[in-house]
Amino acid sequence: MFRICNRALAVLCRRLREELTLRRVGLIVLGAMIASFGIHNIHQQTGITEGGVMGLMLLIEHWLGVSPALITPVLDFTCYLLAFKYLGGRFIRISVVSTLSVSLFYKIWEMFPPMLPDLSAYPLAAAVLGALFVGIGVGLIVRQGGSSGGDDALALTISKVTRWRLARCYLFTDLVVLVLSLSYIPFMRIAYSLITVTLSSWLIDRVQSYTPRRPARDPR
């Protein structure tokens, strides 16, 4: 029994070394830093919410006062249970790193006052800028085979099952949460939230599927 456990642990460690390369971990951490920075310094200041689990996190924070650093892992774990069947263990192992990174950076940003000007008076600018942070940050994480949270796992699962494009799956989950968010966010703010989720969904899809062009070979 002891030998079997040692072998299983050795196999797991080997897989982790193969999957979690220094480059991959670095890009995941960078993506987590970018996405969480935008949500904390733009969305939470202006009342423009994200959709999916990120929006649900802000909804729970508003009504229950629970810190995102605490509620995020709970929501993520619930979605990961659903995703495990369709996305496999490799996705879960990589996502553990990204989820912990996102929670860590939320905790770091909460230690400081807002680092960006309050854009509440400029909701369109807040919607676009927030979408850029989320779209690029989450896109980097998804591109490495992980997720920044349960919303990514949920969207990827829906995409796997329905064969929809990833952007469409994000938009579907986002719209459900935005309807619920009408309970505390005025309708016009939700309209701007629709802009940010549409743009961020499109950016995530583009970053995740981006293929750099290779230079043309010299025919000589």
**pLDDT, average across residues 152-167:** 87
Q: Is residue 14, in this structure, part of any structural domain at all? A: no
Q: Which residue has the tokens 């729970």?
A: 60
Instruction: Tell me how far CA of residue 149 lies from CA of 7, 57, 97, in angstroms.
Output: 31, 10, 11
Q: Is residue 3, in this structure, part of any structural domain at all? A: no
Q: Which residue has the tokens 């390369």?
A: 21
Q: Residues with Cβ < 8 Å from 110, sequence gap 6 or more? A: 40, 67, 69
Predicted pLDDT of residue 203: 92
**pLDDT, average across residues 67-91:** 81
pLDDT in tens, 124-154: 899 999 999 999 999 999 888 887 777 788 8
pLDDT in tens, 37-66: 998 899 888 877 667 777 787 788 888 888
Q: Is residue 149, in this structure, part of any structural domain at all? A: yes
Q: Is residue 141, in this structure, part of any structural domain at all? A: yes
pLDDT band at 34 (very low <50, low <70, confident <90, very high): very high
Q: Is residue 71, in this structure, part of any structural domain at all? A: yes
**What mean pLDDT is reported for the chain?**
81
Predicted pLDDT of residue 156: 87
pLDDT band at 9 (very low <50, low <70, confident <90, very high): very low
Indicate the number of domains in the chain.
1
- By the 10 Å C-beta count (0-12 exposed, 13-18 middle, 19+ buried), 183 is classed as exposed
Predicted pLDDT of residue 132: 94
- By the 10 Å C-beta count (0-12 exposed, 13-18 middle, 19+ buried), 128 is classed as middle
Query: How many beta carbons lie within 10 A of that of residue 101, not counting itself?
Result: 22
Q: Is residue 5, in this structure, part of any structural domain at all? A: no
Residue 85 is part of which domain span? 19-209
Task: Quote the distance between the C-alpha of residue 220 and its chain's center.
Answer: 46
DSSP 8-state secondary structure symbol assigned to residue 184: T
DSSP state letters, 24-45: HHHHHHHHHHHHHHHIIIIIHH
pTM for this predicted structure: 0.77
What would the two tokens of residue 52 be? 């999916």
Q: Is residue 218, in this structure, part of any structural domain at all? A: no
| pLDDT above 60 for 158 | yes
Q: Is residue 1, in this structure, part of any structural domain at all? A: no
Predicted pLDDT of residue 17: 59
CA angle 115, 116, 120 (to 5 degrees): 135
Q: Residues with Cβ < 8 Å from 214, sequence gap 6 or more? A: none
